[in-house]
Amino acid sequence: MLALGKLLELTLAGREPSEKIQLCSSGARLQWKIDGVLEVDPPAGHDSGVDLLLSAGIHGDEIAPVELLEHLLHAIAACRLQPAVRLLVVLGNPAGLRRGEHFVGHDLNRLFGGLQPAVSGPEALRAVELELQAELFFNRPQRRRLHYDLHTTLRPSRFARFALWPASAGPPTREQLARLEGAGLQALLLHSRTLGTFCAFTASRFGAESLTFEVCPPAAGQGVDLQLLEDWLHALIEGREPPTTAGEPLQLFRVEREIVKHSPEFRLHLNGVLDNFAELVPGSLLAEDANGQSWWVSEPGARLLFANPQVKVGQRAGLIVVPVGVDEACS
């Protein structure tokens, strides 16, 4: 197998490959760009007109999707997977990956698009590097642009496979929802305001169909099943229509409120471990902070997502989300 197919190994070791460009016997071309970033060009005459950016490891302790990308690269380098798309593989936060930590100084997935100009340090520099790599990659006109950023959640979830749709992408179409449902997604969360995420940046700057995929452990202590997602990405890379998965209809949610930790006195009333998308009891007290600030559940059908009372002061400690219909989501 070609050495460039071992991107994770190179990234964890902090090494540059001796050969920056390698050719597969199939004619596919692998090019090392910068630390943790590899571009794959399909063989001549096999380009389907799609530019696909796959990123993982934006948070250094979310290793399962990083290993998924490594599997795909191994298959390309060994000629078991024949790419028919231009592909950019990004391991987002090498420093975090090497340390096995969510982030080193700041959450990288809040630093794209210049939304936090006062932040400095390694993650801020990395955000600028990745923005430049995305700009160089999405520089060809009249091509379909896709960006899927792969994550895993710390908590189990009522929906094992869900995705986040950035507000900067505008409302999704019914065709896009049908395609995501066919990919085995169980829920889609529609953001209501622009965040500094990698996907929000590529959606607004390049018009890419950009989604953050979250694959979750079904229960505490159990592993993450990435097989459906891997099969779907395998088909996309080969230029085939991805396989569809029969299952429950895709459930849609909208972010209604953010819970922000304003002081060390912040308390989140979870009554033990609370799964992502767990239903909240109307009228219940969800969180309290200093100066009498409190969050009560007032929305019908409200659920809690990304609950984490251990975040730093000023950061999000959870999201209150509510269900929405297709007509509202696509309007």
Give catalytic residues, as residue numbers: 214
At residue 10's C-alpha, the angle toward residues 7 and 12, to 5°, is 105
**Residue 160 to residues 152, 226, 235, 244, 276, Cα–Cα distance (Å):** 10, 10, 21, 17, 9
Neighbours of 153 (CB within 10 A): 18
* β-bridge mates for residue 165, sequence order: 190
Between CA 68 and CA 66 the distance in angstroms is 5
Is the CB of residue 83 less than 8 Å from the CB of residue 30?
no
Question: What's the half-sphere exposure (Cβ side, CA atoms, 13 Å) at 139?
Answer: 7
Is the CB of residue 215 less than 8 Å from the CB of residue 64?
yes
In this structure, the chain runs to a length of 331
81 sits in which H/E element: none
